[in-house]
Each structure stands twice: as C-alpha cells, then as structure tokens.
Amino acid sequence: MNLLQNTQEKLKVVLFEPQIPQNAGNIVRTCAVTGTDLILVKPLGFQTSDRMLKRAGLDYWGGVNVSFLDDLFVFLNNTTTNFYFFSSHAKKNYSQTNYKPNDLLIFGSETTGLPALYHKTWAERFLTIPMKAESRCLNLSNAVSIVLYEALRQNGFPNM
C-alpha cells in the first residue's frame, strides 16, 4: 500500500521500531476490533512471522491493514495527514487534543522511545498519558489502547 496516497478517513497506529512481539500482537488485536490500520516502522525487533507475535495477535492479523515503513521521518515530512507522538516525557495531556478521523498516532519503541530528532522537529505534537510522577511508563499496548479509544470516542466510534 502506498501510505501517501491513502485518502481513506481512518485512524492509523504507527509503531516506531517495536521490539516486543507480544506488544505488537496485542496492538494488532486492538486494531482489528476497532477497524484501525497499523503501520510498523523498520527495523522491527522481531519477524512478523514470529510464533509469539502470531500467538499474541491470535487470528486477527488477517483483519488488519498492516503496512511497513523504512523511514518515518521522511514519511512525516511529506504527508499532509495530521500526526501526534506519545511520550511519557511530554507535557500536554493526550485527552486535550481534538483528533481527526485520519490522524496518525505514533508510539516509540519500548526500549528507546522516539529519537530526539522527532522531539526537536515536532515538539508541539508530543502528548502524554498522565501517570504518577515516579512512574517510568505504561506498557506500549496499553498506551495504544488508551489513546486510540479516546480518538475513536471523539470521532463517534467510526467503523464500529
């Protein structure tokens, strides 16, 4: 699929260099039950044929439009689609944003998050899920679920 030419109004979850197959599998399942597309940014910390990945996603892989990107930075510089990053280091609350039906919801790697270049270039697009001050971060699949359901709620739960 050519991501730049996809004009369908559908939320997309973007995972930047995901490392843990169980998280990706859980996110595939969440995307399947919500009608959300999934974009995986390479390199991945697992093979998409990985047994644990398939097990975590059960039989949901066939029901999700999954795409792969080699260079997220280039993609974002060329897209007209609105996008947001999610980070435990951001200041603005994720629920204080008005999501559009075709937004890109971008989540960093479980081990390294998002590169500083993204923070420098698009600092105003970084949002956070509130947590206690001494907390490190939420599990990636839980964070995706929280944000995705808020964006879907704001848009009247399309495709459901």
Q: Do 151 and 103 form a contact (C-beta atoms < 8 A)? A: yes
pLDDT at 52: 57
Q: Do 40 and 68 form a contact (C-beta atoms < 8 A)? A: yes
- Burial of residue 101 (number of CB atoms within 10 Å: 0-12, 13-18, 19+): middle
The Cα-based distances of 139 to 10, 34, 104 in angstroms read 24, 19, 19
* pTM of the shown model: 0.90
pLDDT at 40: 95
Q: How remote is the C-alpha of 108 from its chain's centroid?
A: 8
Res. 5 pLDDT band, cuts 50 70 90: very low
Domains and CATH numbers, the chain: 13-154 (3.40.1280.10)
